[in-house]
Chains A and B, each alone.
Chain A
Amino acid sequence: MATKEEILKELAEGVVEYDEDQVKEAAQKALDEGIDPLEAIMDGLAAGMEEVGRLYDSNEYFVPEVLMCADALYAGLDILRPHVPKTNESKGAVVIGTVQGDVHDIGKNLVKMMFDVGGFDVYDLGRDVPLEKFVEEQLRTDSEIVAMSAMMTTTMLGMKKVIQMIKEKNPNVAIMLGGAPVTKDVATLFGADGYAESAGNAVSEAIKMIGRLRELRTQDAQKEAQ
C-alpha cells in the first residue's frame, strides 16, 4: 500500500513528466486511500506544477512542455475535484477571456488553470470576446475577478474600455490583465489590479499564484489546528 507521501509524489511527478496516465492512476489511488482530495490537488498536482514553473524559468521547459503538463494536471483535477467537499469548494468566481480581435488563448488557458486549481468558479468566455460580454458576464455571475488577455498590441486597448465599464458599475471587482504587449505601465494606466506579461510570464505568474494559494491553505490549516 502506498503512503500518502508516495501518492502525492506520484501526482507531482506525473505532472512534471506530463504523464497523464500516471496522474490519473495516482489520483484514483489518492481517493481509494482516503487522502483529502484538496490536499492531493494542492500538494500533489499543484506542487508538480510549481516544479514545472521552475523548469520553465530556467529554460529547461518551454511552452509545449508546459501545455502538456497542464493537460496532465487537468487529468488529475477532473478525478479529484468532484470529491472536494462543497464547503471547501469555491474560493470565489472569475470571468476570464481574451478580448475582441485576439484569437490567441494559451496565456489565458494557463491562467485559467491556476483558478481551476485554486477552486474558483471559472466562467470562461473563450477568445475574441466582445468587450460588453465581459461586463455582462461579471454582472450576471457577480464575480470578484475579471481576467483578460490580449496577445497583440492591436487588441489591448479594448481592455481599457472593459475596465472602465466594469469599474463604473462595480468598483470592487479585481481586474487582471495579461498578454504580450501589456506592460506594467499599461496595466497601471488602464486601471487594472493585476498583470501578467506574456504567455511566458503567464506561466510563471499563474504558477506563482498557485504557490501563494498553497501558502494560504497551509496558513488556514495552521489556524484551524490552533
Chain B
Amino acid sequence: MAELTSRERVQRLFRREPVDTMPCFSGMGMVTVQAIQKMGIRFPQVHTSAENMAGSAMTSAEIFGFDSVVIPYDMCTVAEALGRGTTLYEESEDILYPTVPNKWETLEEVEIPDDYLTRARMPMVDEAFKILLSEADKDGRFAVGAWVLGPFTFAGQIIELGLLLKGVKKDKERVESFLGKLTDLTIDVARHYQDLGVDYITIREMGSGTDLLSPRMWKTLIQPNLTRIFEALSIPKVNHICGSTDMIVEMMNQCGANAVSVDQKNNIAESRKKLGNDVLLFGNFDPYGTLCQMDASEVEGVIKGCIDAGVDAVWPGCDLWPDVKKENVEAFVRTVKEYGRKPSPAVGRLG
C-alpha cells in the first residue's frame, strides 16, 4: 500500500492504528543550526518573527525528514505575556535560549491579565502556527505539534523556584491554590492551540521529576492538575517529564494523556513492564549526547536501544540542542524509519 504522509503517520500513531513505520517526531523543539544557516538568519531571530519561527521548523523537518514541526522554541512566551519580560541574548555569539528575567518575589504579587493570549509574542506564535498548519493541510508533509509548560514548571518560570519548593512544605494550601490558578492558565493556552488546529500537544511538567519532588508530593501536588488539563483537551496529548521518572511513571500514565514521554534517566524497559503494552510510551535518548557529541556511528545503537526497550516513538528527552551534527541526525532519522518498521508494543504495522 502507498506510504503514509508524515501527518497521517503521526495521527495514526496517536490513535494506535497500524502505521507503515515509526514516525520520527517529537513534542519538543526540533530546530537545527543547519536550517538557521540555510535561511541566513541567527538563532535569536527564530523567536521573534512568525516567518522565521515557522520557516526554521519547516526547514529543519525538510533537511532531515522529521515527521513533525513543533513550536515555539523557548519557554518564555507565556511568562512574557504576563509581563515578566524576556531576555533574547541577541548579542551572544552562542546559541542561548531566551529566559525570563523578572520573576515575582511572592505569590501575592502574581497577576494574570485577562488578555494575555494577545500580549507580547503570543500573537506571533499563533501566526507561526497558522503558517505551519496551512502548509501541513496542503500535503500532510508534517504533523504540527504544540507544547505548554505544566503548572508547576510554569510557576518556576514566574516566581522563585526555591520559594515555590519550600512553599509546598511550609505553605501547602496557598501553593496548591496558586497551582490551581496556573492549571486554568495552562488549559487556556493549550485549548487555544487546540482551537488553532494543531495535531497534538505536549504538556511539559519537566520540573516535577523526583530529582526535585517526592513521589508522594507528586501525587498530591502535580497529578490532580495534570489530570484536569488532560481532561480539558480533546486532541492527542502527551505527558512529558524529564529527569527522574521511574518512581512516578505509573502515576504519569494515570493522568489521562494519550502518551507518556520520559527522558534518558528513565528505565524504559522497566516502565514498559509497569505500564503494559496498551500504553503509548515515548522516549528516551539524550539529545545533546547523541546528536551533538557522539560519533555518528554510535547513534544507530542508541536509537535501536530505545526501540528494543519498548518505546512506540523514539523521542529526545528534551528539545534538540540546535547545534546538531548533520550525520548524527541523519543516522537518528534513518534508524527510526528502518528499524521502526517492526511493530512497537502499542502500535501495529500495516501489512
Q: Which residues of A contact B (CB under 8 A)?
A: 59, 62-65, 67-68, 71, 100-106, 109, 128, 152-155, 157-158, 161, 180-181, 183, 185-186, 198-200
B212 within 8 A of A: yes
B288:A128 contact, CB within 8 angstroms: no
B289:A183 contact, CB within 8 angstroms: yes
Residue in B94, B101, B165 whose beta carbon sits within 8 Å of that of A63 in the complex? B165
Chain A's nearest CB lies how many Å from the CB of B223? 16
B211:A199 contact, CB within 8 angstroms: yes
Given the known interface contacts A63-B213, A100-B89, A128-B87, the answer about A180 and B243 at a Cβ–Cβ threshold of 8 Å is: yes
State A102–B94 Cα separation when bound (angstroms): 13
Chain A's nearest CB lies how many Å from the CB of B173? 15
A59:B214 contact, CB within 8 angstroms: yes
**Seed contacts A59-B214, A101-B94, A155-B96; 19 additional CB < 8 Å A-B pairs:** A59-B210, A59-B247, A62-B214, A63-B212, A64-B168, A64-B213, A65-B169, A67-B162, A100-B89, A100-B96, A104-B161, A106-B162, A153-B288, A154-B95, A154-B97, A185-B293, A198-B211, A199-B211, A200-B244
B89:A200 contact, CB within 8 angstroms: no
State A154–B217 Cα separation when bound (angstroms): 29
Task: Provide a sorted-by-A list of 22 A–B residue pairs whose CB atoms are within 8 angstroms.
Answer: A62-B212, A62-B214, A62-B217, A63-B211, A64-B166, A64-B212, A67-B165, A100-B92, A101-B92, A101-B94, A101-B96, A103-B100, A104-B161, A106-B165, A152-B97, A153-B287, A154-B96, A154-B97, A155-B96, A181-B288, A198-B243, A199-B211
Enumerate B211-260 residues with CB–CB distance to A below 8 Å. 211-214, 217, 243-244, 247
* B93 (CB) vs chain A CBs: closest residue: A161
B97:A101 contact, CB within 8 angstroms: yes
| Chain B residue contacts of A65, Cβ below 8 A | 169
- Judged by DSSP, the binding face of B is loop
| Chain B residue contacts of A71, Cβ below 8 A | 166
A154:B169 contact, CB within 8 angstroms: no
| Chain B residue contacts of A180, Cβ below 8 A | 211, 243
B99 within 8 A of A: yes
| Chain A residue contacts of B161, Cβ below 8 A | 104, 106
The interface centre, meaning the residue of A68, A106, A153, A185 with most chain B CB atoms within 10 A of its CB, is A153
B15 within 8 A of A: no
B178 within 8 A of A: no
Q: Which residues of B contact A (CB under 8 A)?
A: 87, 89, 92, 94-97, 99-101, 161-162, 165-166, 168-170, 210-214, 217, 243-244, 247, 287-289, 293, 318-319, 321
| Chain B residue contacts of A109, Cβ below 8 A | 162
| Chain A residue contacts of B169, Cβ below 8 A | 64-65, 68
Residue in A64, A128, A153, A185 whose beta carbon sits within 8 Å of that of B321 in the complex? A153
State A112–B212 Cα separation when bound (angstroms): 18
| Chain B residue contacts of A101, Cβ below 8 A | 89, 92, 94, 96-97, 99
State A71–B287 Cα separation when bound (angstroms): 36
State A202–B162 Cα separation when bound (angstroms): 15
Chain B's nearest CB lies how many Å from the CB of A23? 16
State A102–B288 Cα separation when bound (angstroms): 17
State A49–B166 Cα separation when bound (angstroms): 17
* B207 (CB) vs chain A CBs: closest residue: A104
State A67–B214 Cα separation when bound (angstroms): 14
B94:A158 contact, CB within 8 angstroms: yes
The interface centre, meaning the residue of A71, A154, A157 with most chain B CB atoms within 10 A of its CB, is A154
Chain B's nearest CB lies how many Å from the CB of A64? 4
| Chain A residue contacts of B244, Cβ below 8 A | 200
* A154 (CB) vs chain B CBs: closest residue: B97
| Chain B residue contacts of A154, Cβ below 8 A | 95-97, 319, 321
A64:B211 contact, CB within 8 angstroms: no
Chain A's nearest CB lies how many Å from the CB of B104? 13
State A185–B294 Cα separation when bound (angstroms): 11
Residue in A59, A67, A68, A157 whose beta carbon sits within 8 Å of that of B94 in the complex? A157
A199:B89 contact, CB within 8 angstroms: no
State A181–B101 Cα separation when bound (angstroms): 22
* A186 (CB) vs chain B CBs: closest residue: B293
| Chain A residue contacts of B213, Cβ below 8 A | 62-64
